[in-house]
Structure 1
Amino acid sequence: MKTVLITGANKGIGLETAKQLSKKGLFVYLGSRDPERGKQVAKALAGKGFENIQAIEIDVTKPATILAARQIIEQEKGSLDVLINNAGISGIVPQNAQETGVEVFKEVMDVNLYGVVSVTQAFLELLKKSAEPRIVNVSTSVGSLSLQSNPSWPAYDYAKYAVYASSKAAMNMYTVHLAYELRDTAFKINAVCPGYTKTDFTGHIGGEVETAGNRIAKYALIDQNGPTGHFFSEETNPETGEIPW
Structure 2
Amino acid sequence: MTSKANHSGKVALVTGGNRRIVLETGRLLAALGFTVLIGIRDVAKGEAAAKKLGSNVEAIALDVTLPEGPAVAAAEVERRFRRLDVFVNNAAIHYDLSARALRPHRTVGRKAFETNVVGAWRVAFAFAPLLSASRHGRLVVVSPEGGSPASMDSGAPAYSTGRATLNALTRILAAELRGAGVLVNAVSPDWVETDMARPSGRPVAPGAAGIVWAATLPDDGPTGGFFRDGKRLPW
Same fold (TM over 0.5): yes
1:162 is displaced (CA, Å) by 1.3
After TM superposition, the score normalised by the length of structure 1 is: 0.88
User: What pairs up with 1:42-191 in 2 under 5 angstroms?
Assistant: 42-45=50-53, 50-148=54-152, 160-191=155-186
Distance in 2, matches of 1:244 and 1:64, equals: 34
Amino acid at match of 1:83: F
In the alignment, structure 1 segments of 5+ residues that lack a partner are: 149-155, 235-239
SS in 1 for 2:232: coil
1:25 aligned onto 2:29: no
User: Which residue among 200, 204, 211 is the counterpart of 1:205?
Assistant: 200
Amino acid at match of 1:244: P
Q: Do the aligned residues in 2 keep the contact of 1:179 with 1:190 (CA within 8 Å)?
A: yes
Amino acid at match of 1:214: A
Amino acid at match of 1:42: A
Match of 1:153 in 2: none
**What RMSD, in angstroms, separates the aligned Cα atoms of the two structures?**
1.5
Distance in 1, matches of 2:130 and 2:199, equals: 36
Change (3 A) 1:72 1:184: closer
Any runs of at least 4 consecutive aligned residues in structure 1 with deviations exceeding 6 A, and if so which?
A: none
1:63 is displaced (CA, Å) by 2.9
Match of 2:187 in 1: 192
Q: Do the aligned residues in 2 keep the contact of 1:91 with 1:107 (CA within 8 Å)?
A: no
Q: Percent identity?
A: 34
Alignment deviations for residues 147-182 of structure 1 (CA, whole Å, 9 cap, x no partner): 32xxxxxxx5xx622111111000000001111122
Aligned residue pair count: 227
In the alignment, structure 2 segments of 5+ residues that lack a partner are: 1-8
Match of 1:2 in 2: 10
User: Which residue among 33, 45, 49 is the counterpart of 1:37?
Assistant: 45
Amino acid at match of 1:241: K
